[in-house]
A and B are shown apart, each in its own frame.
Chain A
């Protein structure tokens, strides 16, 4: 079955540490997105990519970085510059229609 896979489901970060969240899709979608969701809140766009080797900042890109070397993959790195990284991170993809979401990664600070 086609879909979006995010891993890991739970992730813990120590102070000053960078961590990378994985997002893989086999839907052959061109566009991919990263969102942050805080408890009881809506979605905030971090980064998006409309095509391989190109990506754009969203509304809250500071402290995050991404790469898009392959169509299927759009990893998100939460850097030590992100002072409040505890949140639920959602990856999505789309092509000429609705966005399809993964099951999310919950990041916590140790």
Chain B
């Protein structure tokens, strides 16, 4: 079946550092890929998405590129802020099923 693997957390960075959270997937066909963010005590919010190979999703300074050849969708941000502290989930959808990764907790220190 389909699956999503994320780098284990927690990830701790200083403010203005560069962020990468790795995400790889296993799926038959060509799924859509998503990154969600969850702030403490809240639901998940869609951060960005990509629906086909080489698409780049971007939002609020975050970016991720759909890499079919490496089955990856790594999340990046050039300069993180304390307010980016949250849990980040990578996910895929093949049109029938949604699969979420286990989440990666990010802590940004001032």
Say yes or no: A101 contacts B100, CB within 8 Å. no
CB contacts (< 8 Å) of B93 on chain A: these are: 94, 97-99
- Taking A43-B44, A94-B98, A103-B43 as given, write out 20 further A-B residue pairs in contact, using a Cβ cutoff of 8 Å, ordered by the A residue number: A40-B105, A41-B103, A42-B100, A42-B102, A42-B103, A90-B43, A90-B44, A98-B32, A98-B34, A98-B46, A98-B49, A98-B91, A99-B93, A99-B98, A101-B36, A101-B43, A101-B45, A102-B43, A103-B42, A104-B43
Chain A 32-57: CB-based contact to B (< 8 A → 1; otherwise 0)? 01000000111100000000000000
B66 within 8 A of A: no
Give A9's nearest chain B residue, CB to CB.
Answer: B41
Interface size class of B (residues with CB under 8 A): 20 to 34
CB contacts (< 8 Å) of B101 on chain A: these are: 42
Interface size class of A (residues with CB under 8 A): 20 to 34
Q: In the complex, which of the residues B41, B42, B43, B89 contacts A42, with contact meaning CB atoms closer than 8 Å?
A: B89
Give B101's nearest chain A residue, CB to CB.
Answer: A42
The A-contacting residues of B in range 87-110, CB under 8 angstroms, are 89, 91, 93, 95, 98, 100-103, 105
Docked Cα-Cα span, A98 to B34, in Å, equals 7
A-B contact pairs, 23 of them (CB 8 A): A4-B43, A6-B43, A33-B98, A40-B105, A41-B102, A41-B103, A42-B101, A42-B102, A42-B103, A43-B89, A43-B100, A90-B43, A92-B44, A96-B95, A97-B49, A98-B34, A98-B46, A98-B91, A99-B44, A101-B36, A101-B44, A104-B41, A104-B42
